[in-house]
A and B are shown apart, each in its own frame.
Chain A
Amino acid sequence: MSLEKTTSHVKERFSEAVLDVTEFAGEQIVHIKSGSVFDVLKIFRDEGFNFLANLTAVDNLTLGGFERYSVVYHLLSHGSVERVTVKAYVAEDDPIIPSVENLWKTADWQEREVYDLFGITFEGHPNLVRIMNPEDYKGHPLRKDYPRKGKTERTDFPVVERGISKENKT
Chain B
Amino acid sequence: MGKQDIKSNILTTTVESAINWGRKNSLWPMPFGTACCGIEFMAVLASRTDMSRFGAEAIRFSPRQSDLLIVAGRISIKMMPVLIRIYEQMPEPKWVISMGACASSGGVFDTYSVIQGIDQFIPVDVYVPGCPPRPEGVVGSLLKIQDLVDKEKLFDYTFSGSK
Contact = CB atoms under 8 A, between A and B. Distances in A.
B112 A141 contact: yes
Interface residues of B, number: 29
Interface of B is mostly: loop
B156 A160 contact: no
B156 A150 contact: no
Given A134-B77, A158-B84, A164 B156 contact: yes
Contacts of B88: 160
A159 B121 contact: yes
Interface in A139-170: 141, 146-151, 153-155, 157-166, 168-169
A116 B13 CA distance: 61
A132 B152 CA distance: 42
A147 B111 CA distance: 9
A27 to B, nearest CB: 30
Interface in B78-101: 78, 80-81, 84, 87-88, 92-94
B116 interface: yes
A133 interface: yes
Interface string B129-151: 00000000000000000001001
A133 B153 contact: no
B87 A154 contact: no
Contact of B92 (A149, A153, A155, A163): A163
Contacts of B72: none
Contacts of A160: 84, 87-88, 121-123
Contacts of B80: 157
A155 B111 CA distance: 12
Contacts, number: 66
Contact of B112 (A149, A163, A169): A149
Given A134-B77, A164-B156, A168-B153, A153 B123 contact: no
A108 B31 CA distance: 34
B112 A161 contact: no
Contacts of A132: 78
B4 interface: no
B91 to A, nearest CB: 9
B57 interface: no
Nearest to B149: A169
B157 interface: yes
B114 interface: yes
Contact of A157 (B121, B152, B156): B121
Nearest to A159: B121
Contact of B111 (A150, A157, A166): A150
Contact of A164 (B110, B114, B157): B157
12 contacts: A132-B78, A133-B78, A149-B110, A150-B111, A153-B77, A153-B113, A154-B112, A157-B84, A159-B120, A160-B122, A166-B156, A169-B152
Interface of A: 132-134, 137, 141, 146-151, 153-155, 157-166, 168-169
